[in-house]
Amino acid sequence: MSHPTGHPGGHPGGLELPRSVDYAQRPMLVFWEVTRACLLACRHCRASAAPDPLPGELTGAEGRALIDQVAGFGRPYPILILTGGDCLLRPDVFEMVAYANSLGVPVAMSPSVTPRLTPEAIQQMVDAGVKAVSLSLDGATPATHDGVRGIPGHFDETIPAIRALVAAGLKVQINTTVMRSNLDELADIAAIMAETGVAIWEVFFLVHVGRGEATGAITPAEHEQVCHFLYDCSHYGFTVRTVEAPFFRRVVVQRKAGGPAPVEEPYLRLRGRLVERLGPPVGRSTAHTVSTRDGKGIVFVAHDGQVYPAGFLPLPLGSVRERPLVEIYRDNEVLRSIRAAEFGGRCGRCEYADLCGGSRARAYADTGDPLAEDSACTYQPALA
């Protein structure tokens, strides 16, 4: 699966996002898992995707009805991200793109790198008006990436695919999931971003959902170190975002205010390798700090129409087959509490509660409470 959360919190590559959106009224991003079908078997896949579609996928008519519901939020319309599984395995996916475009709803796609991602498919994306495309890259070497993806030779197919999408004029986002096996390759992955002309690097931090339960998460202290490293990466010409690590925004604010960089590993090692590959940081930071979170500016519609706050947060909110997405998003009490930053533990006491808010998916995975504190954050709030 190319987009390991389908939300991923994920933000689609390269789209300009309105700054004045009232997230109580409309999300910025609607992720639609158009199919669970995928030819890959990635170790950290949220969807636990399979080669064939699952029963109950939204039909073409139901898909168009969902797009109508997305438009029903009103302007500025949310961005619709078609994810999966592999969205290219849905036969009518480009019909869905065309219908969304006819309504003025911007569309991004998150395909997998498989034999379906042909030059013809890339041209179809361009012709259909797709605004941005995201692919996954989980290592800087074939051994690491292919080990995660479960497909020998996949790295050697992914790099040309990235270059082909960039050459076609599409805004390209690369998604990388941080795990024990690729931690030491992050600087080299950043160099690939710079060298291929990628617009956005979206870095995912594991939440143990689906196949992700089998993979090796890094420690909270390492989360903090990696966030500081990603702030450094944001000076090399591509935007940096995180998924399920909203405390990256706190780190960005602290560093921009003159706060110190860490003096521990793995930060020092990663920073040293980054400078070795790309030279000293130049220009201003392009780190992404919009204060969205699961259920606040983001909502996820599964293949069967069930709605969740995000792809990593398997808390069912209702079905678009039974209630309009607008009502589900605006009226759900859990989402209202998330948007109001009504959190427990350290997250509830934190001065960065609105900017960050912690990973609601991780809180839910750890405790069963989507409003609990985020165990991956090391920050001790200043507020009593």
The pLDDT tens digits of the residues spanning 361-382 come to 999 999 999 999 999 999 999 8
pLDDT surpassing 50 at residue 76:
yes
pLDDT at residue number 216: 81
Domain count, the chain: 1
Q: Is residue 368 part of a domain?
A: no
Q: Distance (Å, rounded) from C-alpha 55 to C-alpha 73?
A: 28
pLDDT at residue number 383: 64
How many Cβ atoms from other residues are within 10 Å of residue 56's Cβ?
A: 13
Confidence of residue 47 (pLDDT cuts 50, 70, 90): low
Query: Average pLDDT of the chain?
Result: 91
Q: Is residue 224 part of a domain?
A: yes
Residues facing residue 31 across a β-bridge: 81, 300
- pTM greater than 0.85: yes
The pLDDT tens digits of the residues spanning 291-313 come to 999 999 999 999 999 999 999 99
Q: Distance (Å, rounded) from C-alpha 224 to C-alpha 88?
A: 36
pLDDT surpassing 50 at residue 211:
no
pLDDT at residue number 46: 60
Least confident window among 51-65, 264-278, 363-377: 51-65
Quick check: 189 and 233 in contact, CB under 8 A?
Answer: no
Q: Is residue 348 part of a domain?
A: no
pLDDT surpassing 60 at residue 158:
yes
HEC profile for the chain? CCCCCCCCCCCCCCCCCCCCCCCCCCCCEEEEECCCECCCCCCCCCCCCECCCCCCCCCHHHHHHHHHHHHCCCCCCCEEEEECCCHHHCCCHHHHHHHHHHHCCCEEECCCCCCCCCHHHHHHHHHHCCCEEEEECCCCCHHHHHHHHCCCCHHHHHHHHHHHHHHCCCEEEEEEEECHHHHHHHHHHHHHHHHHCCCEEEEEECCCCHHHHHCCCCCHHHHHHHHHHHHHHCCCCCEEEEECCCHHHHHHHHHHCCCCCCCCCCHHHHHHHHHHHHCCCCCCCCECCCCCEECEEEEEECCCCEEECECCECCCCEECCCCCHHHHHHHCHHHHHHHCCCCCHHHHHCCCCCCCCCCHHHHHHHHCCCCCCCCCCCCCCCCC
Quote the domain boundaries for residue 185.
29-278
Least confident window among 9-23, 293-307, 309-323: 9-23
Quick check: 97 and 109 in contact, CB under 8 A?
Answer: yes
Q: Is residue 229 part of a domain?
A: yes
Quick check: 146 and 113 in contact, CB under 8 A?
Answer: no
Where does residue 322 rank: exposed (0-12), middle (13-18), buried (19+ CB within 10 A)? exposed
The enclosing domain of 59 has a CATH number of 3.20.20.70
Q: Is residue 22 part of a domain?
A: no
Q: Is residue 62 part of a domain?
A: yes
Q: Distance (Å, rounded) from C-alpha 59 to C-alpha 346?
A: 43
Residues facing residue 201 across a β-bridge: 174, 240
Residue 329 or residue 47, greater confidence: 329
Q: Is residue 284 part of a domain?
A: no
Q: Is residue 340 part of a domain?
A: no
pLDDT surpassing 90 at residue 50:
no
